[in-house]
Amino acid sequence: MGTSQPNEAIDQTGRSQNPNRQQDPGRPEHSAGIRIGKELVQATRPYAQESIARSWRYVISTFALMIAVLVGAGMAPWWPLRLALSILGALVMVRAFITYHDYMHGAILRGSRVAKWLFQLYAGFALTPASSWKRSHNYHHGHVGQISEASVGAFPLMTTRMWHDASFAQRFSYRFQRHPLVVLLGYITVFAFSVTLLPLITEPAEHRDSVWVILFHGGLITLLWLLGGFDVALFSIILPMAIASALGSYLFFAQHSFKRMHVVSPEAWTFYRAALESSSYMRLSKLMQWFTGNIGYHHIHHLNVRIPFYRLPEAMAAIPELQSPVTTSLAPRDIVDCFRACLWDENLQRMVSYREAGEL
């Protein structure tokens, strides 16, 4: 969860253009007859065609529902109802964030001035300035599944060898950044600090929009507090944002740090392999798929970021090569496994816990 960096170029085959990354000639990457790389990306392109009407229908309905539920949470007379509406509002906020995420990728509503203004307002509401989000998130897409102590656009990932060689300070920093409490408190740790405040501190000229986001978000909470009292600000903004941020932070964490994840060696790394081997498919109920905007189809999203969120299930159903992904879920056991999968062991070729690393 650090500052943003420029994105690494990716060619049309889905391979990094970094000349230091060479495909391992001694290891077959796939079985005969299976589409990979450029051919597989080509197969996804029909699903990267958006329906403008459909995009607007989903955006308008999601934002209208979010506003209505959050207003209800602030105004309802009975606190259990306010709590229930706050939780519901948080779930709808996650869906709203996915529409913003897709807009920033150019998957929906490209070139729309109305969408531009709408999502600029939403960026202030959700503590997600466009400049830092776009740069760090694009970097993440160009480096997913790579070993790095730095947390640029993602949570850091070390090997057991790096862990054994690390200093006390390095180990503390690594464990802190990947700690469940950091994810749970994502409102502060991820969105307020890492996404909004830290880029402004380190690169103020590049992230002036963070000022607007801080003022808008803080001003909205202050206004509701002054006009309606702290309980209005709590149930309509603070609590829903805290819940949505925790869920969103965990979804992002679990999509690239899970028990069955495979980390490709630097020599064999390709954009295609990182998408299918280092990005999960999260098994969710139909209701949770709706609330999370199909972000559980994350392996497909990483293969082609231009596929609108509402077409990801369609792409998976139509393309056999996408139907056997590495998976996780929101089941308690899988959540525990995700947080225990802390380090990549190059010899065992799997994720291990800190305790396992200490025994190796």
Average pLDDT over residues 250-265: 90
Q: How far is 153 from 238, CA to CA, in rounded Å?
A: 24
- 119 residue type, one letter: F
pLDDT confidence of residue 127 = 96
- In this predicted structure, the answer to whether residue 32 has a pLDDT above a threshold of 70 is no
Distance (Å, rounded) from C-alpha 224 to C-alpha 146? 43
Of 130, 134, 119, give the one whose Cα is nearest residue 60: 119
> Over 80: is that where the pLDDT of 297 sits?
yes
Give CA–CA dist 74/285, Å, rounded. Answer: 29
* pLDDT for 8 beyond 70: no
Strand ranges (E), 125-203: 158-159
Tens-place pLDDT, residues 43-62: 999 999 999 999 999 999 99
pLDDT at 9 over 60: no
Contact 107, 50 (CB under 8 A): yes
Are residues 35 and 321 in contact, defined by beta-carbon separation less than 8 angstroms?
A: yes
151-156: average pLDDT: 76
**What pLDDT, on a 0 to 100 scale, did the predictor assign at position 11?**
39
Residue range 75-98, pLDDT digits in tens: 999 999 999 999 999 999 999 999
Phi, psi torsion values for 350, nearest 5 degrees: -160, 165
Q: How many residues does the chain have?
A: 360
Report which residue type is found at 247.
L
- Helix (H/G/I), strand (E/B), else coil: 333: helix
CA 223 to the chain's CA centroid? 30
| Residues 6 or more apart whose Cβ sits within 8 Å of residue 299 | 275, 276, 279, 280, 281, 322, 325, 326
Please name the residues in contact with 358: beta carbons below 8 A apart, sequence gap of 6 or more.
Answer: none
CA–CA separation, 360 and 353 (whole Å): 11
Q: Which amino acid is at 158?
A: M
Give the pLDDT of residue 155. Answer: 87
pTM confidence score: 0.88
Tokens 């197969």 correspond to 43
127: left (phi over 0), alpha (psi -120 to 50) or beta: left
Query: Which residue's structure tokens are 């295609």?
Result: 272
End-to-end CA distance of the chain: 28
Residue 188 confidence (pLDDT) above 80 = yes
Look at 301 and 33; give whichever has higher pLDDT: 301
Confidence band for 34, pLDDT divided at 50, 70 and 90: confident
How far apart are the C-alpha atoms of 14 and 18, rounded to whole Å?
12
Q: Taking all residues of the chain, what is their mean pLDDT, rounded to a whole number?
A: 89
Q: Is the pLDDT of residue 28 over 50?
A: no
Confidence of residue 151 (pLDDT cuts 50, 70, 90): low
pLDDT above 70: residue 295:
yes
pLDDT exceeds cutoff 90 at 7: no
- pLDDT in the model for residue 293: 97
Token code pair at residue 174: 């690594």
For residue 227, pLDDT over 90 is answered with yes
CA distance linking residue 155 with residue 316, whole number of Å = 27
pLDDT, tens digit (0-9, with 9 covering 90-100), for 12-23: 333 343 433 444
Nearest residue to 190 (alpha-carbon basis) of 233, 127, 137 = 127
Q: Tens of pLDDT along 115-140? A: 999 999 999 999 999 999 999 888 88
Predicted confidence at residue 24, as pLDDT, reads 44
